[in-house]
C-alpha cells in the first residue's frame, strides 16, 4: 500500500528526508512520491524472522556443544568450517551458509530438546553491547582490574557485557599482557621473578647465546648473549631466526646457537648453495660508468664482467641494455663469412670470437645468407 511520505514519517518516526534518500534503507520503498509501507513491513518482518532464525541456530549449536562436549560436537563439523562455527558462537552470529549447515547436522535430532530445555540450561549466548557503543579500555582500568584485582578476562567481559576476545584484544592493544612464552613481562611494582621462572627464562630460544660465523672461513667472529642483543645492534630478529633455522645467511653471515655452531657449519657446507648466496649478498650493481669502462673500453666479455661484479652474465647483459651500452662490432661480409665457414672450416663460435659476435649471431647470419656446408 502506497501512502504519503508525511504519513510514513509519522508511523516510522523517521524524517521525510531519510524516506526519500535512495542511499538509506528506506530508499528502495519510495516510489513516485509515495512510500510503500506494505513492502517495507514485509521486508522488516522477513528480516526479523531471519535474525531470529540465526539466533536460534546459534543457541542450538551451543546447546548441542555443551551436551555432547566440544570434541564430539566439532568432530561432526567439516574441518574447514570449525573455526567459523567457533567464532559464530562467540559473536552470537552465523552466516547463512553456516547456519544452514548446523541445521542440517543437528536440527532433526536436537532441535526439540533445545526448545523444550530449561532456559538456564540452554546457556544462550548473551546479547553483547554493540561494538560501536563500546568505549576503548584505558590503561588505568586494566591495571586496576586485570593486574591489581587479578580478575580474569572472562570476568571483566561479563562485567562489561562484551565478548572475552574483545577484552583480550584491548589488553594486547595496550601492551599489558601478563605472559609471553610463560614469562611474566609486566606487572606490579616491586615484582621479583622466582628462581624457577628465571631458569625457565634462560631455556627460552630468545635467551640462548648465538654466534656470528664467517661463511667463507667458518670462523666464529662474535658471540651475542641473546637474539635481543642482536636486535639492539641493528639486526632483525626474524631474519636471524630464519638464518639459524635454515642454515642460510643474514647480513652476509651465518648464525647459530652457540652449542649448535658445528652442526650449522656442517649443514651449510653440505647444501652446496652457500657460494651462490655469498655471491648474491656481495653483488653491488655497477654504475653506467663502471660497466662502460669494463665492458666497452677494456672489451671484457659478459662472463668476465659477471665474475668481476659478482653476478650472472645475464644480469650484465640486461644492465648493458638498460644503460644503452653496445659494443661496436666489425661487420662481416657474406664473402668473408663464406670463406671462414666453408673454406677454412671454422665453427660459428670461433668466427664470433674473432669478430666480436656470439655463436648464435653467427649462426643466424649463416642461415640468412644461405651458407651451408656440404655433407
Is residue 329, in this structure, part of any structural domain at all? Answer: no
281 within some domain = no
Counting residues of the chain whose pLDDT is more than 90, the rounded percentage is 1
227 vs 78, 127, 219, 221, 237, CA distance in Å? 41, 46, 20, 16, 6
Instruction: Please count the structural domains in the chain.
Output: 5
Give the residue carrying C-alpha cell 526479523.
48
Query: CA–CA separation, 213 vs 252, rounded Å?
Result: 9
User: Would you say residue 87 lies in a domain?
Assistant: yes
83 and 26 in a single domain? The answer is yes
User: What global pTM score does this model have?
Assistant: 0.33
- Cell numbers given for 169: 584484544
On whether both 298 and 262 belong to a single domain, the answer is: no
The range of the structural domain enclosing residue 343 comes to: 334-369
Decide if 338 is inside a domain: yes
Closest CA to 142 of 162, 157, 127: 157
Taking residues 346-370, report their average pLDDT.
80
Greatest mean pLDDT range, 55-59, 114-118, 248-252 = 55-59
User: How high is the pLDDT of residue 73?
Assistant: 87
Q: What is the pLDDT of residue 200?
A: 67
Within 10 angstroms of residue 147's Cβ, the number of other Cβ atoms is 14
36 and 52, same structural domain?
yes
- Specify if 189 maps to a domain: no
Among 97, 116, 14, smallest CA distance to 59 is for 116
Which grid coordinates are listed for 193? 621473578
User: Does 263 reside within a domain?
Assistant: yes
Q: Is residue 257 a contact partner of residue 204, using CB atoms and an 8 Å limit? A: no
- Shared domain for 103 and 2, answered yes or no, is yes
Same domain, 26 and 119: yes
Indicate whether 19 and 50 sit together in one domain.
yes
Considering the domain architecture, whether residues 90 and 8 belong to the same structural domain is answered as yes
Do 4 and 121 share a structural domain?
yes
pLDDT of residue 281: 67
238, with CB counted inside 10 A (0-12, 13-18, 19+), is: exposed
Q: How crowded is the C-beta side of 23, counted as CA atoms within 13 Å?
A: 0
Task: Report pLDDT digits (tens) over 16-69.
Answer: 777 777 777 777 777 777 877 777 777 777 777 888 788 888 888 888 887 888
Q: Could you tell me how many residues make up the chain?
A: 375
- In tens, the pLDDT along 312-348 reads 788 888 888 888 887 766 677 888 888 888 888 888 8
Is residue 184 assigned to a domain?
no
Give whole-number Cα distances, 340 to 16, 52, 111, in Å.
94, 91, 93
pLDDT at 179: 60
Report the CATH number at residue 261. 1.10.10.10
Distance of CA 137 to the CA centre of its chain: 28
Whether 41 and 68 share a structural domain: yes
**203: pLDDT confidence band, cut at 50, 70 and 90?**
low
Question: 128: which DSSP letter?
Answer: P
45 in the same domain as 3: yes
15 shares its domain with 120: yes
DSSP 310: T
**Of 130, 127, 129, 122, residue with least CA distance to 59:** 122
Residue 191 lies in a domain: no
For residue 311, with 0-12 CB atoms within 10 Å meaning exposed, 13-18 middle and 19 or more buried, which class applies? buried
DSSP for residue 72: H
**279: helix, strand or coil:** helix
pLDDT value at 96 more than 70: yes
Residue 1 shares a structural domain with residue 119: yes
Amino acid at each position: 500500500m502506497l501512502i504519503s511520505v508525511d504519513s510514513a514519517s509519522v508511523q516510522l518516526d523517521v524524517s521525510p528526508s531519510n524516506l526519500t534518500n535512495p542511499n538509506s534503507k528506506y530508499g528502495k520503498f519510495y516510489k513516485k512520491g509515495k512510500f510503500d509501507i506494505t513492502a517495507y513491513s514485509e521486508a522488516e518482518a522477513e528480516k526479523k524472522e531471519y535474525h531470529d532464525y540465526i539466533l536460534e541456530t546459534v543457541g542450538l549449536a551451543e546447546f548441542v556443544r555443551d551436551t555432547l562436549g566440544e570434541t564430539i560436537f566439532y568432530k561432526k563439523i567439516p574441518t574447514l568450517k570449525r573455526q567459523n562455527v567457533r567464532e559464530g558462537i562467540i559473536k552470537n552470529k552465523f552466516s547463512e551458509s553456516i547456519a544452514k549447515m548446523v541445521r542440517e547436522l543437528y536440527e532433526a535430532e536436537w532441535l526439540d530438546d533445545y526448545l523444550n530445555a530449561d532456559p538456564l540450561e540452554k546457556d544462550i549466548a548473551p546479547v553483547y553491547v554493540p561494538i560501536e557503543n563500546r568505549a576503548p579500555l584505558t590503561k588505568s582500568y586494566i591495571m586496576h582490574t586485570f593486574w591489581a584485582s587479578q580478575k580474569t578476562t572472562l570476568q571483566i567481559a561479563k562485567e562489561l557485557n562484551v565478548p572475552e576476545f574483545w577484552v583480550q584484544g584491548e589488553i594486547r592493544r595496550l601492551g599489558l599482557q601478563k605472559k609471553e612464552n610463560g614469562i611474566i613481562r609486566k606487572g606490579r611494582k616491586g615484582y621479583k621473578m622466582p628462581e624457577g621462572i628465571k631458569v625457565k627464562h634462560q631455556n627460552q630460544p630468545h635467551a640462548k647465546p648465538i654466534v656470528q660465523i664467517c661463511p667463507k672461513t667458518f670462523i666464529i667472529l662474535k658471540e651475542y648473549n641473546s637474539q635481543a642483543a642482536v636486535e639492539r645492534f641493528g639486526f632483525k630478529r626474524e631474519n636471524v631466526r630464519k638464518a639459524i633455522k635454515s642454515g642460510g645467511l643474514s647480513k652476509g653471515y651465518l648464525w647459530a646457537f652457540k652449542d649448535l655452531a658445528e652442526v650449522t657449519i656442517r649443514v651449510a657446507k653440505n647444501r652446496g648453495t652457500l657460494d651462490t648466496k655469498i655471491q648474491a649478498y656481495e653483488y653491488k650493481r655497477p654504475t653506467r660508468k663502471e660497466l662502460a669502462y669494463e665492458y666497452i673500453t677494456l672489451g671484457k666479455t659478459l662472463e668476465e664482467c659477471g665474475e668481476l661484479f659478482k653476478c650472472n652474465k645475464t644480469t650484465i647483459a640486461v644492465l648493458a641494455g638498460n644503460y644503452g651500452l653496445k659494443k661496436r662490432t666489425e661487420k662481416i661480409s657474406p664473402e668473408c663469412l663464406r670463406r671462414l665457414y666453408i673454406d677454412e672450416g671454422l665453427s660459428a663460435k670461433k668466427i664470433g670470437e674473432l669478430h666480436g659476435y656470439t655463436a648464435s649471431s653467427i649462426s643466424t647470419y649463416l642461415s640468412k645468407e644461405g651458407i651451408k656446408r656440404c655433407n
